[in-house]
Homo-oligomer: A and B are copies of this chain.
Amino acid sequence: MAAAIALSMRGRGRTAPNPNVGCVIVRDGKIVSRGWTRPGGRPHAEADALDGADAAGADVYVTLEPCAHESARGPACADLLAAARPARVIVAAPDPDPRTDGKGVARLRAAGIEVVEGVMADEARRAMAGFFTRLEKGRPHVTLKLATSLDGQVALPDGSSQWITGPEARAHGHVERALADMIVVGRATVEADHPTLDVRLSGLGNRSPVRAVLTHDWSNFSKLDLRAEQPDWRHLPSPEAIRDLEGIDYLLVEGGAGAAAAFAGADLVDRLILYRAPILIGRGLSALGDIGLGNLENAHGRWRLADSRMLGKDRFEVYERAS
């Protein structure tokens, strides 16, 4: 299942509104076929894995319950699997989409195929967080990225921030971009840095996500300048406007302090990624602006450490929404 989850990440950021599923077919302890949801959402992972493979009598590992609904773009995966006659189907997470929601598993069992549920369900949900957030909250999954010094500064007072973190952390930041459907920055960041927000990693250049600017603080800013400079960028009038986005399941907020605080203050951050360099800056620019925190008690209990490791000399930490 861990292999299936890793495969599912290949589609992350390019399959919305379909979930980025992974699938592995195993016979006699060997992987005989692999599949993942392809860009645009089709084929589904199961169809991709079954294509050209003989699954009869094999074990099929799939990160999400196989869908039970046909569409113009293909048959239901539960039917495809039933026809392939595997011995067992091992499922990580149930599919809450009302068109499936248990029907996929029921259809497989009705066809006489053994089904095992809940294997590495948490890990699978994390890998497909955008799909689940969309279904459960009606909006994309939001990651907020902060790259700071040990004392929480993101730049010197003059705005210079090249470089706080090292090459390993910056490369990791580009992987995070490649796993997003859309990147958002604030107005001030566009004005100050004129960022391109593309994915500068060998082989992943074609994965640069849709770019957007948070325009909620549009005063003193010329839309014409931006439109001339970044004609293909989208405009978000507020953090809440992400609820209206279509085809965007994974959103990465890259800063600056105003945009980061706008999303955090609106309680719209699901995942916080921190890159911390072993340096002190002192007087500089803080990572976050006003998030409307009235007292310290309200700050607690919101974040749970999900990952922590070194990237070169920098520490990388992931915090997830605790509730």
Contacts and interface: CB of A to CB of B under 8 A. Distances in A.
A151 B282 contact: no
A228 interface: no
Interface string A157-179: 00011111000000000000000
A156 interface: yes
Contacts of A300: 277, 279
Interface stretch (A35-43, A115-123, A301-309): A301-309
Q: Assign chain A's interface to a size class.
A: 35 or more
Interface in A282-311: 282-284, 286-293, 295-296, 299-300, 302-305, 308
A111 interface: no
Given A161-B296, A296-B162, A283 B289 contact: yes
Contacts of A305: 278, 315
A63 interface: no
Contact of A286 (B153, B261, B279, B308): B153
Contacts of A304: 278
A300 B302 CA distance: 32
A160 B295 contact: yes
Given A156-B293, A162-B296, A283-B289, A278 B151 contact: no
A295 to B, nearest CB: 7
Nearest to A291: B282
Contacts of A286: 151-153, 283, 286
Nearest to A298: B279
Nearest to A160: B296
Contact of A278 (B146, B296, B303): B303
A316 interface: no
A317 B264 CA distance: 25
Interface in A259-283: 261, 264-265, 272, 274, 277-283
26 contacts: A149-B152, A150-B274, A151-B286, A151-B287, A152-B287, A156-B293, A156-B295, A156-B296, A160-B296, A161-B296, A162-B296, A261-B283, A277-B300, A278-B304, A278-B305, A279-B299, A279-B303, A280-B288, A280-B302, A281-B293, A282-B288, A282-B290, A282-B291, A282-B292, A282-B293, A283-B290
Report the 10 A-B pairs with minimum CB-CB distance, sorted nearest first: A152-B152, A282-B291, A279-B299, A283-B290, A282-B288, A278-B303, A151-B288, A151-B287, A151-B152, A282-B290
Given A146-B151, A281-B299, A305-B315, 18 more contacts: A149-B299, A150-B303, A150-B319, A151-B288, A156-B293, A160-B295, A261-B283, A278-B302, A278-B303, A278-B305, A279-B299, A279-B300, A279-B303, A280-B288, A280-B291, A282-B290, A283-B288, A283-B293
